[in-house]
């Protein structure tokens, strides 16, 4: 059975259709444009998505796999290079005990690992320092610690949102302070 259906418009016209399990579904070519104008959707002229202000609100979950092209016809958005989105649903954590030195986050850790942040857990009001390293790089202090450096023993989060460029993320903790590295580690 042919997918097209004949209709009568004067002497007869054929429309496009798709036969799915014996039911014909009409094929419609998508266009966009202002009233009185029509532009075929194509790779050169993609279907615009958003409101008149150029914004897009997503309510729910968006799964993205592969390369994402970001454009804005208003010219207010500029993207240079590659835009990548880290899969936070694959996130994890790793605990680091007090007085640990250069503990790698993840089974082995690697370049490209994502460190969302570090939860600092003081055991006294005068805890030691907490620092991180990108691979074998220099230590970066995220909490200096010291005498009476905290007023209570409530853990606090140090947001980072960084990606390793030189190897495993490593965490060093001083005395009387532990930490939890949060991110996506190898």
- pLDDT, position 46: 85
125-172 pLDDT, tens digit per residue, is 999 999 999 999 999 999 999 999 999 999 999 999 999 999 999 999
Domain tally for the chain? 1
Residue 70 in domain: no
Residue 116 counted as domain residue: yes
| pLDDT exceeds 90 at position 1 | no
Q: Note the pLDDT tens digit of each residue in 75-133.
A: 444 444 454 555 556 689 999 999 999 999 999 999 999 999 999 999 999 999 999 99
Per-residue pLDDT at 50 = 59
173 found inside a domain: yes
* pLDDT of the residue at 41: 86
Residue 63 included in any domain: no
In a domain, 66, yes or no: no
Mean pLDDT of 52-61: 56
Does residue 104 form part of some domain? Answer: yes
* 141, part of any domain: yes
Three-state DSSP string of the chain: CCCCEEECCCCCEEECEEEECCEEEECCCCEECCCCCCEECCCCCCCCCCCCCCCCCCCCCCCCCCCCCCCCCCCCCCCCCCCCCCCHHHCEEEEECCCCCCEECCCCCCCCCEEEEEEEEECCCCCCCEEEEECCCCCEEEECCCCCCCCCCCCEEEEEEEECCCCCEEEEECCCEEEEEEEECC
pTM attached to this predicted model: 0.56
Give the model's pLDDT for residue 73.
Answer: 55
Within a domain: 6: no
Domain CATH for 135: 2.60.120
Residue predicted with more confidence, 8 or 125: 125
pLDDT tier at 15, thresholds 50, 70, 90: confident
The boundaries of the domain holding residue 149 are 89-184
pLDDT band with cut points at 50, 70 and 90 for residue 28 = confident
């Amino acid at each position: 059975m042919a997918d097209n259906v004949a209709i009568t418009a004067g002497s007869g016209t054929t429309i496009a259709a798709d036969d799915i399990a014996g039911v014909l579904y009409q094929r419609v070519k998508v266009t966009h444009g202002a009233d009185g104008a029509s532009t075929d959707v194509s790779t050169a002229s993609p279907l615009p998505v958003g409101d008149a202000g150029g914004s897009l609100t997503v309510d729910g979950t968006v799964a993205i796999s592969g390369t994402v092209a970001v454009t804005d016809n208003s010219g207010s958005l500029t993207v240079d290079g590659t835009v990548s989105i880290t899969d936070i649903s694959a996130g994890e954590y790793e605990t680091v005990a007090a007085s640990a030195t250069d503990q790698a986050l993840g089974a082995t850790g690697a370049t490209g690992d994502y460190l969302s942040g570090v939860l600092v857990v003081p055991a006294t009001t005068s805890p030691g320092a907490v620092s991180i390293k990108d691979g074998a790089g220099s230590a970066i202090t995220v909490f200096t610690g010291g005498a009476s450096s905290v007023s209570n023993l409530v853990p606090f989060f140090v947001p980072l949102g960084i990606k390793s460029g030189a190897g495993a993320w490593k965490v060093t903790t001083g005395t009387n302070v532990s930490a939890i590295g949060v991110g996506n580690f190898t």
